Structure 1
Amino acid sequence: MTTIDDLVALVPPPTNPVNASGDWTQVESALGLELPSDFKSLIGSYGSGQFVDFITPLTPFGSRNLLLQFAQQLLENERPFREANPDKCPYPCFPETGGLLEWAATDNGDRLCWVTDGHPDTWTVVAWNPRGWYYDAHETSAIGFLHGWLSGRLNTSVFAANEHVTDPWFEPLRALSHVYIKLTDGQRTYSERLRILQQALSPTADRGGYNEEGDRQDHFDATELGWRLTYETAYGHQIRVAFPPEDEGRVRSTLLAAIRSMGCEVLSTTTHRGEPVWD
């Protein structure tokens, strides 16, 4: 059985996790359910944040009780589709008996749910894609699923395998601004451009990536600056950067200087929502 110690050994938790503690009795009373002990350990160790910029556990503490909020909305949101398409909905939804209860979400909009049948420590996981209406059941706990997927030992048909990240990480919640910088190619190779970019932000720490048929993506941290970056050609030639809002002026000047050294020109700068910035 996979434990919190196994997950911590694979993915170091933050030194000071955000929204990691509170009154579990109150949470369970509001839900009307006892929760699995491994989930409590997960939240206590990691708090609010994301695994590999993709999976977000629904923390019940802090300004928003995400676990309760999602639980309260689930049945009502899914009711019209279930009534019209009962054959596509093989599971009941919380608070129905044995219904699915979401404990984590992905950046793609997928849901990781428990089947709330039996003792909480025996609940298993269902990955659910609500856009395509398909489900994938896994006979494992929340921590078992996370450890399996992050280590590459467990795959699900609902979202892609974690095959490009060899050193998985957890990023605690913090307020960040996001800017996407679209670039021309220039004359230098991708590797040369990446080296120049990382030198401008040194020291940096690798956070994984991939290279398939010329489509490349490299994730890294500017460790002393506290910025997260992705340099890629997988979704167009661009730099994606996340940073504390108060650093915006320094981010802009540093990256624009680096881009000139890379031999590239800026085509556009937008937020992750597509809104123009840095005009």
Structure 2
Amino acid sequence: MLLTVLGCSGSIPGPGAAASGYLVEADGFTLVLEFGNGVLSRFQEERPLFSMDALVLSHLHPDHCVDVSSLYVARKYHPVPPLERLPVYAPAEAPSRFIAAYAPNAAERSSLDFTDVFTFHGLGSRVQIGPFTVDSALVAHPCEAYGFRISCGDVSLAYTGDSGVCAALDSLADGVDVLLSEASWTHAPDCVADLHLSGREAGELAARAGAGRLLITHVPPWTSAEDVLKEAQDAFEGPCELVVEGGRYEVGES
């Protein structure tokens, strides 16, 4: 399984940096995980425009999904559009969310139906997406939000999405080869509960789970990535690093 980072800037795109977006590939299948600000551009630098096989979204905050409206334009109005609708696995309000982001007024929204381009599927259970077995569970965030465990054969990747500390993350991350964890700030007593993880909490999660490797992502431009990484490394004795845009990470590689 190969993980490629399209964007990893937390909460907003940073200077020259896209927000959340990842490719997860195996057996010739391309699963796109998150599609935030700038990710459509980055995807086209890495792969042909219509080469994605499925799209999975953890939640509907803009930094994780806003480029879906532009993807709709591409798949709807391109001179040679794809013949098949793209499977999109997302929270229940995804269709109305993307239509509202695309259309500036109620009259236009009433005439739109994104299901002519996308096939929407809900989250919260185990699904098979190409060669991947994908488990999702609700996590601690202010909206309907999910974390994931993506497996292919005996190789597994867990992704926190955006979440505070919660039991669902421990379950998803248990024994994974790679834990891709957001860490949006350094640890402090006044951090907002049920919103994001600190570097320390990401490291503690990896340690409890017995993860083989910890990859830190979603650090906002105003947060010291080095301080977040140090916190995680202090809490987790295994391999731990900050992901970088364009970075490629083998999942299950010894």
TM-score bin, normalised by smaller chain: 0.3 to 0.5
TM-score by length of 2: 0.34
Rg larger in 1 or in 2? 1
TM-score by length of 1: 0.32
